[in-house]
Each structure stands twice: as structure tokens, then as C-alpha cells.
């Protein structure tokens, strides 16, 4: 559900990121930039990425991709290569031949 995330919010910006990601439906993805916009600029897209790097276990981290539809987690030293793509495919997310998510079909921007 849409929440007010203005500067008067008592929740941390990272908690707001996690709340947004929890809203992303199965079979859809969002991007770091979309999350940043939903936060009204409280965090940059890069900062959203840092928040996602340490997200709680109940956050569907795999539903967040980069602006090109790529799986940025494959570049992390602690990541299992291909895990994000496998999780997304298991939810029905379609990938292009170049390995990126088809954002025209799967991008979720939130309510409104």
C-alpha cells in the first residue's frame, strides 16, 4: 500500500526500501531507481542497492534489478551466480536473449 515517505517519517530510509520491496508481486520486478523515486529522493539508486545488500530474510531481494533489467547480484563476491535469475524464472519472469529481464512486461512501479 502507498505510504507517506516524506522527511518527517520516523522510519529509517532502509526500512522504507524493504517495505517497498515487500510489495513487489511475484512475477514482477522493480529497479533500484524506481525505489529511489518512490522514496522521493531520500536515497539514491546506489544507496538503495546498499540497503538491499543487507536486507532482512523476509524481503524478496531477487525482485530488484538494475535499470537495464540485469541481475546485479551476480557481481557480488558473496552471491551464488545465477541464483537471482533462477528465482525470478521460477516466478514466471521472462528474460531476453541477452539475459536481462523484459522490463516492458515485468516492471512494477507501485500503486498509482
What is the structure's pLDDT at 11? 67
What is the structure's pLDDT at 84? 93
What is the structure's pLDDT at 78? 64
27: pLDDT strictly greater than 50: yes
More reliable by pLDDT, 107 or 11: 107
Domains of the chain: 13-104 (1.10.10.10)
96: pLDDT strictly greater than 60: yes
DSSP 8-state secondary structure symbol assigned to residue 5? -
Which SS3 state, helix, strand or coil, does residue 21 take?
A: helix
Task: Give the per-residue SS3 of 41-105.
Answer: CCCCHHHHHHHHHCCCCCCCHHHEECCCCCCHHHHCCCCCCCHHHHHHHHCCCCECCCCCECHHH
Q: 35-49, pLDDT tens digit by residue? A: 999 999 899 999 999
Q: Average pLDDT in the 64-83 region?
A: 81
Residues 6+ apart with CB under 8 A from 33: 45, 48, 67
Amino acid at each position: 500500500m502507498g505510504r507517506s515517505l516524506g522527511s518527517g517519517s520516523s522510519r529509517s530510509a532502509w526500512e522504507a526500501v524493504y517495505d517497498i520491496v515487500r510489495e513487489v508481486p511475484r512475477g514482477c520486478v522493480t529497479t533500484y531507481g524506481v525505489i529511489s523515486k518512490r522514496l522521493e529522493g531520500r536515497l539514491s539508486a546506489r544507496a538503495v542497492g546498499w540497503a538491499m545488500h543487507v536486507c532482512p530474510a523476509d524481503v524478496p531481494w531477487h525482485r530488484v534489478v538494475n535499470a537495464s533489467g540485469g541481475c546485479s547480484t551476480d557481481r557480488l563476491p558473496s552471491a551464488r551466480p545465477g541464483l537471482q535469475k533462477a528465482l525470478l524464472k521460477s516466478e514466471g519472469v521472462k528474460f531476453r536473449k541477452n539475459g536481462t529481464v523484459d522490463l516492458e512486461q515485468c516492471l512494477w512501479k507501485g500503486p498509482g
